[in-house]
Amino acid sequence: MQGRHVVAIDQGTTGTTVLVLDEGLEVLARVNREHPQVYPRPGWVEHDPEAIWASTLETLERALADAGAGPGDVAAVGITNQRETTVLWERATGRPVHNAIVWQCRRTADRCAEMKARGLEPLFRERTGLVLDPYFSGTKIAWILDQDPALRRRAEAGELAFGTVDSFLLWRLTGGRVHATDASNASRTLLMDLRRLDWDDELLAHVGVPRAVLPAIRGNAEVLGEVAPGLPLRAGTPVAGMAGDQQAALFGQLCLRPGDAKCTFGTGAFLLMNTGPEPVPSRSGLLTTVGWKVGGRVTYALEGSAFIAGAAVQWLRDGLGIIRSAAEVEALARSVPDSGGVTFVPALTGLGAPHWRPEARGVIAGIDRGVTAGHLARAALEGIALQNTDVLDAMRADSGRALTALRVDGGAAANDLLMQYQADVLEARVVRPRMLETTALGSALMAGLAVGIWQDQEALAGAWKADRTFEPRMTAGEVRAHRARWSAAVAKA
């Protein structure tokens, strides 16, 4: 093994970030490049896979230069990615046959509704831990193939390859020698048996996906392939860690014990709880998913997502114009002692887990003539935290575990007022790490484990350092009042 640096490629919805970390997990360089969003029609979202690849190459080259690292200084590469986004390409040329269909895209809603009408959702729920929703990859693959009979014939003949973005990047990095995904990304396709960690022929038949297009399913911390010549990294560098973004964040937060939970505050809020070596079926509207497979052992998780978190602050900025930048929201919210009885349900694109009400729309309740922009700002932050509390209540119920602390990351985790209110209504500690980019950190830790920079998961204990802990301050009566007002507003959404 040459070098002791790890490169983490974090390929997200709006852009690609590359971090170069040393053995002590100090960030030597961070480079981000955005890529275009494509909206062919309302509700449809696409990316150009070639633009994703170009952004990856550019950020890799610039990050290595900024870190002062030569190609031989890198011991391993980790990949983390936007999970359900679907790419289909030719095996012979590596050329995509269609734009990537993004996880946000709703074009397969009718297909999912038709499968539900056929009574298939209980089967998919039991076998995959997921609901029948266009969010996931399987129906996206089928949609692409259904547009052109020739494409479907080529797929059945093994001429085409499917992958989520992790697979596409691995294929390109290895010069087309490796077609694989990891267990966490595979668990988001509607096509993998959650217990066997293998593609399920019955599910494939129902969705309409030929097995011939699918990648091999691998673990999250193992050498998946080697970098091909002609790239910014040394030829032969191991690509050794791979995970979907939210599972990578759970690992990067070192939520390694059952009951450990994290929330990533981004455009939406993504909450995952480690449930240990057995999948926990949800009775409360959550998803059951693979967390990771490391050292031959599988760890499962419960997941709940709120569609709108940071996007609520963006709406205050872009829609209402009451702030000029997202960073101003905390100061505006602090200009008042409380929300003045205003409750904001940020269901701007429907309600996610545990409600699953796509028809729901946002509600601002409790307005009178004394309400100011400060009250609206404070109510927006409170709404973000309160919807997370609904998800975490469901996790407590499904797992049977008490939650004593929530680890947080993502851009909005830097907002002290939001974090304090989250601790208050959750009635549990909220712990913020020094490094908020835990998604990239998780893939770096997995890659380092695979090549022996760290010997085992226990050796990672020093990798996570707290920045600040927020202790609950509200009385039980105050919490009940806030949550009762919230529940009444959600019923109106």
Cβ atoms of 99 and 267 closer than 8 Å = no
Q: What average pLDDT does the chain have?
A: 92
Same domain, 199 and 82: yes
Residue 1 has pLDDT above 70, yes or no: no
Same domain, 212 and 86: yes
- Residues of the chain with pLDDT > 70, as a percent, come to 99
Distances (CA, A) of 242 to 24, 169, 335: 20, 11, 44
pLDDT-derived band of residue 402, with 50, 70 and 90 as boundaries? confident
Q: Write down the residue that tokens 């293998």 correspond to.
A: 198
CA 204 – CA 138 distance, rounded (Å)? 8
Query: Residues 152-181: pLDDT tens digits?
Result: 999 999 999 999 999 999 999 999 999 999
Domain that holds residue 56: 5-246
CA 73 – CA 46 distance, rounded (Å)? 36
- Tell which of 224, 246, 268 closes a domain: 246
**Which pLDDT does position 4 carry in this prediction?**
82
Burial class (CB in 10 A: 0-12, 13-18, 19+), 77: buried
Same domain, 231 and 267: no
Same domain, 258 and 238: no
Same domain, 186 and 263: no
Same domain, 490 and 408: yes
Q: Which residue in 69, 213, 196 sits closest to 155, CA to CA?
A: 213
CA 232 to chain centre: 27
As for how many domains the chain has, the answer is: 2
Residue 464 has pLDDT above 80, yes or no: no
Same domain, 292 and 148: no
- The two tokens of residue 367 are 């307005």
pLDDT-derived band of residue 355, with 50, 70 and 90 as boundaries? confident
Containing 77, the helix (H) or strand (E) segment is strand 74-81
Same domain, 138 and 231: yes
The CB density around residue 4, as the number of other CB atoms within 10 Å, is 16
pLDDT-derived band of residue 326, with 50, 70 and 90 as boundaries? confident
Same domain, 213 and 345: no
Same domain, 157 and 39: yes
Contacts of 327 (CB under 8 A, 6+ apart): none
- Tell which of 246, 281, 310 closes a domain: 246
- Tell which of 199, 226, 246 closes a domain: 246
Query: The domain spanning residue 475 has which CATH number?
Result: 3.30.420.40
What is the spatial order of strands in the sheet that 86-90 belongs to?
A: 46-47, 100-101, 86-90, 160-164
Cβ atoms of 415 and 330 closer than 8 Å = yes
Same domain, 447 and 367: yes
Same domain, 363 and 222: no
CA 151 – CA 221 distance, rounded (Å)? 34
